[in-house]
Structure 1
Amino acid sequence: MNTPLRPSPTMPVMFIGHGSPMNAIEDNHWRAAWQSLGTEFGERYPTPQLILCISAHWLTRGGWFLTGMAQPRTIHDFGGFPQELFAQQYPAPGAPQAAEEIAAGVHQPDSGAALGIDADQWGLDHGAWSVLKPMFPQADIPVVQLSMNYARPPAEHFELARQLRALRDRGVLIVGSGNVVHNLRQIRFGVPDNQAYDWAVEFDAVVSDQVKGGRLSELVNFQQLGAVAQQAHPTYDHYLPLLYAAAAVDPDKDVPRFFNEGFQAASISMRSMVWA
């Protein structure tokens, strides 16, 4: 994208539970829901000028960064999967000018500095392309990824993301991609979607209640749940994208809609949500 972002009707904001990378290619109901959501753009929702994706799989230290390359590469940041998955490409264009524009207007909570620009190192990791490809298969909407400074506390991620809210009135679709519950150490393959560990169900229910009740700032305090939070997120990289989506919500206007409620392999919540 080499033109400035233009005023637009307010875009929705969403959090997608992406789960296994195989969901990108398997004919399952998780992927079918992403495809169905994609058809709502241009009909129920405006067509985005730009997608800003915050993925659990781009963690940085020393600052927050935006991808600033014209043609971001498709990153296959996983191992042990079929060749068909490694062959997947998502050739969506980048948006160097828009990235510079966004970077200049967002200040990092710890330093006050503008966002950094990564012009050549990253690209689109599987947290981004695995959900965007089913939603927008033509790959014709520019995509920029925002990294998460994993050295900083959750409250600062929420604080930074509040600054992104205004982008929704300039054609930017904000997509957080992670999982409400994500514990790979406790995976149980072959378990039905409606079955999960008690701690997984409890943590998912707490998050659901906070979202339904519009108590989005409370999502920052997830670690206060103690052992339940530790089991739900031994590391919380997959939880943080939810904070970015929630912080971009207008609590006076936006109403949440859940989809893909259920669990994958007993320890991964696939709960996803759109606010509009």
Structure 2
Amino acid sequence: MTQPDRMPVMFVGHGNPMNAIEHNAFSAQWAELGRTLPKPKAIVCLSAHWETEGLRVTSSAQPETIHDFYGFPKALFDVQYRAPGDPALAREIVDLLKPTQVTEDEQRGLDHGVWGVLAPMFPEADIPVVQLSLWRGKSARYHFELGQRLATLRRQGVLVVASGNIVHNLRTFDFNATEATPWAAEFDAKVQSALLSRDFDALVDYQSLGQQATLAIPSAEHYLPFVSALGLVEPEDQIRLFNPKTLSSISMTSFLAS
């Protein structure tokens, strides 16, 4: 398959870690993307589940599979996503983000925000994967601009996958719910509207979207990958939503720009 002039960028609402091994509407959509997207030379991921002081990038040639959760079935802990790393790409990211210092981390593996999505999407695990951390305490604006600085990777055959959730409030989550909590649905709808109208400033300044923002984003780590992905969107990209579903107080809404 011929690669396009630039690879897509996507934000994936990853939700429950069990989505990695369950056959459901969400994982089916991820699998469909893996079958239909141009095969990337490498994948760079930003996940809600790796926050650090300063920026770090995985530089292992064979990153381990991190099972950073508890209380789930053994089958989930048995998953090993054995995609290779790409130390050369890690070094390129270090250079790309200068003068910001980025630490190469040879010990860090891939957390479930990464492999939980990539395992259904690219089950062969034959594409090199590098993960870049979020900078703990930095603003949404910082992470949006971080995405902008990564945009050149798209023209090198690199697929950027950001993984989190637009609405993520576990304190109010109802495991028995099959529909969205009203405030969560309202906030998710506002985000979808702003995304499709390309009002990225409102999405970065998410408090401007109303009082539901405080409930939807009680802490920012699941939202920051979303705004980083926005930073990689170019004017000529078409944006399309997928998995536009909110379960109780977690949104699975995702987008692809290409």
Deviations 1:205-240 (A, max 9, x none): 111011100122321101234531110011111000
> What is the distance in 1 between the residues matched to 2:4 and 2:101?
24
Aligned residue among 139, 142, 145 for 2:131: 145
Q: Greater share of helix residues, 1 or 2?
A: 2
Decide which moves more: 130-139 or 8-17.
Answer: 8-17
SS in 2 for 1:176: strand
Aligned residue among 171, 175, 181 for 1:197: 181
> What is the distance in 2 between the residues matched to 1:187 and 1:75?
25
Aligned residue among 75, 83, 93 for 2:66: 75
1:270 and 2:257 are equivalent in the alignment: no
Kept in 2, the 8 Å contact 1:196–1:263? The answer is yes
Aligned residue among 210, 216, 226 for 1:232: 216
Residue type matched to 1:223 in 2? Answer: Q
> What is the distance in 1 between the residues matched to 2:201 and 2:60?
33
Q: How does 1:175-254 map to 2 (within 5 A)?
A: 175-192=161-178, 195-225=179-209, 227-250=211-234, 252-254=235-237
Residue type matched to 1:258 in 2? Answer: L
Kept in 2, the 8 Å contact 1:217–1:247? The answer is no
Aligned residue among 45, 52, 65 for 2:56: 65
- Corresponding residue number in structure 1 for 2:153: 167
Give the superposition deviation at 1:24.
0.7
> What is the distance in 1 between the residues matched to 2:254 and 2:100?
32
> What is the distance in 1 between the residues matched to 2:4 and 2:110?
25
Residue type matched to 1:169 in 2? Answer: R
- Corresponding residue number in structure 2 for 1:23: 19
> What is the distance in 1 between the residues matched to 2:104 and 2:166?
28
1:115 and 2:89 are equivalent in the alignment: no
Residue type matched to 1:198 in 2? Answer: P
SS in 2 for 1:257: strand
Identity %: 49
- Corresponding residue number in structure 1 for 2:39: 47
Kept in 1, the 8 Å contact 2:61–2:85? The answer is yes
Q: How does 1:121-140 map to 2 (within 5 A)?
A: 122-140=108-126
Give the superposition deviation at 1:113.
2.4
Give the superposition deviation at 1:8.
6.3
Aligned residue among 220, 225, 238 for 1:255: 238
> What is the distance in 1 between the residues matched to 2:115 and 2:62?
14
Unaligned ranges ≥5, structure 2: none
Distance of aligned partners of 1:53 and 1:260 in 2 relative to their CA distance in 1, 3 Å threshold: same
SS in 2 for 1:219: helix
TM-score (norm 2): 0.96
- Corresponding residue number in structure 1 for 2:88: 97
> What is the distance in 1 between the residues matched to 2:205 and 2:14?
23
Give the superposition deviation at 1:154.
1.3
Residue type matched to 2:251 in 1? Answer: S
> What is the distance in 2 between the residues matched to 1:221 and 1:190?
32
> What is the distance in 1 between the residues matched to 2:176 and 2:181?
14
Unaligned ranges ≥5, structure 1: 1-6
Kept in 2, the 8 Å contact 1:105–1:114? The answer is no
Kept in 1, the 8 Å contact 2:202–2:209? The answer is no
SS in 2 for 1:56: strand
Q: Please provide the CA RMSD for this pair.
A: 1.3
- Corresponding residue number in structure 2 for 1:13: 9
Distance of aligned partners of 1:8 and 1:205 in 2 relative to their CA distance in 1, 3 Å threshold: closer
> What is the distance in 2 between the residues matched to 1:150 and 1:218?
22
